[in-house]
Amino acid sequence: MTLHQSASSTTATDTVTAQLLSVENLDVEFRTRSGTVKALEAVSFAINPGETVGIVGESGSGKSVTAFTLMGVLDRAGKVANGKALFQTDRVAVDLLREPESSLRQLRGKELSMIFQNPRTALNPIRKVGKQITDVLRCHTDLSGDALRDRAIEMLASVRIPDPEQRYDAYPYELSGGLCQRIMIAIALACAPKLLIADEPTTGLDVTTQATVMNLIKDLATQQQMAAILITHDLALASEYCDRIVVMHAGHVVESAPTHSLFRAPRHPYTAKLIAATPEPHKAFADLIPIAGNLPDLKATTIPPCRFSQRCDRYEPALCDQAPLTRQQPVPEHHVACWKPLE
């Protein structure tokens, strides 16, 4: 039924235990004034230690909801209806969705960190950036006094901020967007987390800044043996920095594969269409093909079992009206949730 179950049924159990995070059958619902929105349905994926995984999808695909659910900062209207998210800490595996808030607070910032889309709003505007780094350190380490300050300056230097000593006393408004995002990264990585969730970390930034910020995340991840989830709408960006990519559409995981395999031979029609719609340096205008149709209404009582079926040109009545089955493709590690995948 799901990606994870099919994966575990075919791979040895020891690889399952080695996973840093395994999300299984996650259902998230939002209560709204006009009905319940099934924002996520049966979302499953896994992250290995040290791996960078991209979650790619358009707005409304549920990629940010996934991140917020994992961090336990879901909006009050949202509710986890079903599912597990097992996170491997030093000692035990904890279920992030069932853990009490007090122990989640111990995990957040220390083992599990997040970078937000807009660094300017995510940073406290009236607190010096250095202090904002020491706040995290104070919560999760035994450092104090000058040691705290030294460690914060060290963090600023590690995210390649020029003149870290002076910048320690700067306020967010005195820094450019790129520098603010680096401060966010310094805060997120202050306690050397095992997993970093980056939600559109470069969306408001310029391409040149985007490249430096992404390279920084990638380098630090390699240095610290840290796994990262990169949430983005930019397929090309994900292709450059991720080992594996999970493609989401309307709250479903439609495809999950190693990056090279996904781009060489996408199996899900949506992934193929997404690639065709992305402008590329050597793509002709005629080859830029829009995706027809809209996301299905997730408030409706009868959402088609395959949520892409209404936009899909491979749709076949009886066949596709069953719930999309996840099959393992000939290529190892390449999963696709489609009844008529591309060959």
Partner 1 sequence: MTSLTDLPSQTVPLLQVSDLCKTFPIGKGTSLHAVDHVSFDIRPGESVGLVGESGCGKSTLIRVITRLLDVTSGTIQFDDTILSTVAVRQFPKSPHRKGIQLVFQDPTDSLNPRFTAYDTITEPIKRLEGGHNKAQLQARAAELADLVGLPQELLSRFPHQLSGGQKARVGIARAIALNPKLLVLDEPTSALDVSVQAVILHLLADLKERLGMSYLFVSHDLNVVRLLCDRILVMYLGKIIESGPVEQVFNHPRHPYTEALISAIPSFEAKPHPIPLTGEPRSPINPNPNVCRLYGRCPKGEDKCQQVMPTLKEVAPNHWAACHFHN
Q: Which residues here bind partner 1, judged by CB under 8 A? A: 58-59, 162, 176-177, 179, 206-212, 215, 233-237, 239-240, 263, 273-275, 277-283, 285, 288-291, 294
**Phi and psi based region of residue 92 (left: phi greater than 0; alpha: psi -120 to 50; beta: remaining):** beta
Minimum gap (Å) between residue 179 Cβ and partner 1: 7
Residue 258 makes CB contacts below 8 A (sequence gap 6+) with: 243, 244, 245, 333, 334
Q: How far apart are CA 256 and CA 6, in angstroms?
A: 12
Minimum gap (Å) between residue 155 Cβ and partner 1: 19
Minimum gap (Å) between residue 107 Cβ and partner 1: 32
Minimum gap (Å) between residue 132 Cβ and partner 1: 20
| Closest to partner 1 by CB, 19 or 309 | 309
Does residue 231 contact residue 197 with C-beta atoms inside 8 Å? Answer: yes
Residue 3 makes CB contacts below 8 A (sequence gap 6+) with: 44, 45, 253, 256, 326, 335, 337
In what order do the strands lie in the sheet containing 244-249?
A: 112-115, 195-199, 227-232, 52-56, 244-249, 252-258, 335-337, 326-328
Minimum gap (Å) between residue 149 Cβ and partner 1: 23
| Closest to partner 1 by CB, 80 or 230 | 230
Minimum gap (Å) between residue 300 Cβ and partner 1: 16
Minimum gap (Å) between residue 212 Cβ and partner 1: 6
| Closest to partner 1 by CB, 58 or 135 | 58
| Closest to partner 1 by CB, 300 or 319 | 300
Beta strands 195-199 and 112-115 are: parallel
Q: Find residue 87's DSSP bridge partners.
A: 21, 94
| Closest to partner 1 by CB, 178 or 193 | 178
Q: Which two tokens stand for residue 71?
A: 């961090």
Q: How far apart are CA 334 and CA 257, in angstroms?
A: 4
| Closest to partner 1 by CB, 219 or 316 | 219
Minimum gap (Å) between residue 226 Cβ and partner 1: 21
| Closest to partner 1 by CB, 4 or 167 | 167
| Closest to partner 1 by CB, 18 or 288 | 288
Exposed, middle or buried, 211 (CB in 10 Å: 0-12/13-18/19+)? middle
- Ranges of beta strands (E only) in the chain are 21-32, 35-47, 52-56, 78-88, 93-95, 112-115, 195-199, 227-232, 244-249, 252-258, 326-328, 335-337
